[in-house]
Structures are given as structure tokens and as C-alpha cells.
A = this chain, B = another copy of it.
Amino acid sequence: MTETLVKDTYMTTAIAGALKAAMAEDESVIVLGEDVELSTIGCTKGLVDEFGTNRVRNSPISEATVVGSCVGAAATGLRPVMDLMFSSFFYVALDQVANQAARLRYMSGGQVDLPLVYFAGTGPSGSAAAQHSENPHSLLMHLSGIKVVFPSSPGDAAGLLIASVRDPNPVVFLLDLMLAGSKGPVPAEIEPLLIGKAEVKRSGDDVTIVAIASAVGAALEVAAELEADGVSAEVIDPRTLTPFDWDAVTESVARTGRLVVVDPARRTCGAAGEIVARVTESNWPDLKSRPRRVTWEDVPIPFSPVLEEAVTLRQDQIREAVTATVAGNGRA
């Protein structure tokens, strides 16, 4: 498979390619959202030329109804992929996500599949300020009934995008905007990846770092740095948050006995807290030292670059957390 890799593909191009493949393989896949013809972020670029305006639909700024129309369309024969542009706009339409898309199957006793994908760019992208920088994955994880995909590399993004479109359930597919301009290898023939399968991005014995989306790259850099200090860090990328590959994490912590979670999101009731709590429960006897979280501060994302930097993830914090966790021994 490595031979067929297209090297240095942008994350956005990888997603656009996967979406194109998904549309080509199944006529019931449609794409809709504001400016999907032109494509603001780039993930729907060129689709309208290929598939026409019946299947690629620019929609008005009516997020609640467009999000909800995906539910109705998915229940009656389409596989809609909606581009919400920025994940902050989920809040405008959250009823249709939380009370409808994530509920109808369960409430109907399993009568209906809802194969739909809500795609959105997410997180800070450089002074986009509080209303364009949310990372809503923790909130979506809390809802239940909707899958949450949040990849860290172009290859993963392409494989998971195909899998999301094929999935018979509602899926939120998040593109970390910090990664929009990043590059990586993507197979020429995109194969679906399993939703619910983590990947060990680096193996190690001394500490398990669980990192989400753009935090994966930062964690890998820290792990590489710490190797010089003789620390062998394992970096796990869950890739999908609902369902979550708990086995991968608990198995790793069972070996390393140490856990640091790095999550680009506010701390309170975030994914990092869930992972710490869950591992503390499941791996209690294994834990050799205090688990730690590295997250944003519990404030909105401010505009000014200095302020944005102050509240979001910094590599030195990850390094400190890992170092302290490795240094910890037992109850001390």
C-alpha cells in the first residue's frame, strides 16, 4: 500500500478527494451547505463541476433547518453531507443535532438509519476570536447518538471521511483548522478506516500520551524531544471520539502505568477529563503516578494573538506535564 501513497497531500485536499470518491461510489450522497460550490475551507472544492447542482447545493444561512433537513433526507433515501463551515455554528442548529439527529433512531426503536455527515472546520485558526474558534467535540460526545470523528492527519482524514459517509449513523466530522494547511501521505485509492479505532502514532514504554487532533503533532514533538532525556513516550491518537477505542488506551496504560491527556478544548467537562476519569477507574492498579491533563484554559478564545496563545495548548505545557508524570512515583 505504501507504493500508492500520494505524498504531501493537504488535509483539505485529502478530505475533498475522499468526498469525491464517496460521491462517485454512491449516487445518494449529496453535499450541501453555505458556499459548498466555491468551498470556503476547500473540502468541497470542485464537487459541483463533477456532480452538478442537484447533488451539490449552496444553501442559505439557515443552519437549524439545513441541519434538520439532513435528518429528513437521510431518513428517506439520501446520504447528506453538510458543510457547516465553522463548528461554532453547531450551536445555532443544536436542537436538530441533539434532539433530532442523535435521537430519532433510538426513539423509534431502531426503525431508521440516518446516514448523514456534519462536516465542520473547528478550533482556533489564528485570531478568529470566540465565535469562530470553538471545539465542540466534548459537548457532542456527551450527547450520545452521534459519532464524532476528529482526525490528525490527511491519511486518517481521508479514510475516516469515506467511512463516515458510508456509516449508517449520524457522524460529526471535524477538521482541526490548525491542521488545514498541514500535509501528509494519502493512499491513491482511499480505503475506509474503522470508526472507533485509535492509532498508536508512536510506541513507548514509560508514559501514555493520549492526544486529540492538532495536539497529536505537538505530543509527537514532545515525545521526540524527551527521547533524548531517556523517556520513552507512547502517543495514542483516538482519531474518533464516539465511539472511543478505550481498549487501545487502557492496554497502553496497563503497560506504561502513566497517563497524560492533551486535548485542544476547554478543560471542564471536556474529553481530557473523561479520559482521565475512565482510565483512573479502569487502570487503577496500573497507575504509577498522578494522571495529568493539558487543555485550554476555561475561557472563550480571545482575539489578540498573545491572548489566544495564552489560553490554548502550548508545547512547553505538554512537556512539563509529561516530565512530571514520568517523575512521579506512586502516591507522591
Contacts and interface: CB of A to CB of B under 8 A. Distances in A.
A303 to B, nearest CB: 8
Interface in A75-124: 88-89, 91-92, 94-95, 97-99, 102-103, 106-107
Contacts of A273: 269, 273-274, 276-278
A284 B276 contact: no
When all copies of this chain in the complex are counted, the total is 2
Contacts of A92: 94-95, 99
Interface in A272-301: 272-274, 276-278, 280-281, 284-285, 287, 289-293, 298-300
A213 to B, nearest CB: 16
A131 interface: yes
A130 interface: yes
A100 to B, nearest CB: 9
A7 interface: no
A51 B91 CA distance: 34
B269 A280 contact: no
A9 B103 CA distance: 37
A139 B265 CA distance: 13
Contacts of A242: 268
B145 A300 contact: yes
Interface string A294-323: 000011101100000000000000000000
Contacts of A281: 276, 290-293
B144 A129 contact: no
Nearest to A90: B94
Contacts of A107: 129-131, 300, 302-303
B290 A142 contact: no
Contacts of A106: 130, 299-300, 302
A12 interface: no
A256 interface: no
Nearest to A97: B91
Contacts of A292: 281
A62 to B, nearest CB: 12
Contacts of A271: 269
A332 interface: yes
The 10 A-B residue pairs with the shortest CB-CB distance, nearest first, are A284-B290, A273-B277, A276-B277, A142-B269, A91-B95, A92-B95, A94-B94, A91-B94, A285-B331, A91-B98
Given A99-B130, A106-B299, 7 more contacts: A91-B99, A102-B300, A106-B130, A144-B298, A272-B277, A276-B276, A281-B290
